[in-house]
């Protein structure tokens, strides 16, 4: 039995469909299981990763877990999983940890959160496979309201590079490492096929949607004011620092998606086409 956590997420939803199509016993966990619509025969269970009281029931009979977690209670989760008989955890982490592997987690609140989870799992007896994606293509969804309303997209670093990776590629990579024993315990850095600036992503999005999209270059302080209430200041500062570090600097790419799934990583335009309604629906 495979347990998928974060059942409402895009990666989890696609992974669930892949495993179910294979006929693999699977259970999906969520803090709000009533909101899930899993395939027939798939159990949806209450699993709140901030509440250890929900761990035992969700883990009963489970041998593998797909996990996307915060540091809160991850050690307790690993302990419960081990005692329940879990032998393999696939963690959706982040390639940002590669820059802080020798640092204290609190030194970088974004990368540090993922690093703390990695360390907790690696310290447990459970075999842990790490998936470390770069930038999610779905981060572009934050521009949807501006695009639909015809307003400029505010960017503090229009020339910052990212490596947007499609959530379907992440799900297929997770499927591969969950089902192929050769990948157990691996460390996999996943990227999209291109290093793109935010401006280049906007241009591609405009081409796919058929809409003119303008960019407003704002200061870091202006962007923080615009996102206040949505992004905590400490995380906003970490994002700004990351974008500043890649401003005008292409990021390194990998072929890991292709190596795990057998096909090249999907381009950003494929993600935009798959999410066209998000940017065009009135």
DSSP-derived secondary structure letter, 252? P
pLDDT digits (tens, 9 = 90+) for 139-174: 999 999 999 999 999 999 999 999 999 999 999 999
Q: Are residues 83 and 33 part of one domain?
A: yes
Tell me whether residue 187 is in a domain: no
Give the DSSP H/E element, type plus range, for residue 30. Answer: strand 26-30
State the average pLDDT over residues 174-186: 97
Q: Are residues 97 and 18 part of one domain?
A: yes
> For residues 12 and 99, what is the distance between their CA atoms, to the nearest angstrom?
26
CATH number, domain of 196, equals: 3.40.50.720
Least confident of 26-40, 52-66, 225-239: 225-239
Asked if 258 and 264 touch (Cβ cutoff 8 Å), the reply is: yes
pLDDT confidence band for 13 (50 / 70 / 90): very high
Tell me whether residue 179 is in a domain: no
Q: Which residues pair with 160 in a beta bridge?
A: 247
Residue 281 structural domain: 136-165+192-251+267-282
């Amino acid at each position: 039995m495979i347990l998928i956590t974060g059942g409402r997420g895009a990666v989890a939803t696609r992974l669930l469909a892949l495993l179910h199509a294979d006929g693999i016993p699977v259970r999906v966990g969520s803090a709000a299981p009533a909101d899930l619509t899993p395939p027939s025969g798939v159990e949806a269970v209450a699993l709140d990763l901030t509440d250890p009281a929900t761990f035992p029931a969700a883990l009963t009979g489970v041998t593998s877990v797909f996990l996307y977690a915060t540091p809160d209670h991850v050690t307790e989760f690993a302990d419960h999983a081990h005692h329940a008989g879990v032998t393999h955890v696939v963690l959706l982490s982040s390639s940002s940890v590669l820059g802080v592997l020798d640092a204290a987690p609190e030194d970088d609140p974004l990368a540090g959160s993922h690093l703390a989870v990695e360390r907790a799992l690696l310290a447990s007896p459970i075999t842990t496979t790490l998936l470390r994606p770069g930038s999610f293509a779905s981060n572009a969804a934050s521009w949807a309201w501006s695009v639909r309303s015809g307003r400029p997209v505010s960017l503090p670093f229009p020339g910052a590079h990212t490596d947007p990776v499609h959530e379907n590629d992440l799900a297929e990579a997770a499927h591969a490492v969950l089902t192929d024993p050769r990948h157990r315990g691996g460390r996999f850095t996943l990227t999209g096929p291109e290093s793109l600036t935010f401006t280049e992503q906007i241009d591609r999005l405009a081409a796919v949607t058929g809409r003119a999209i303008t960019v407003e270059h704002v200061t870091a302080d202006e962007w923080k004011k615009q996102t206040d209430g949505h992004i905590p200041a400490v995380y906003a500062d970490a994002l700004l620092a990351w974008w500043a570090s890649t401003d005008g600097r292409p990021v390194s790419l990998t072929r890991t998606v292709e190596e795990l799934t057998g096909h090249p990583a999907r381009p950003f335009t494929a993600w935009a086409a798959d999410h066209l309604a998000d940017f065009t629906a009135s």
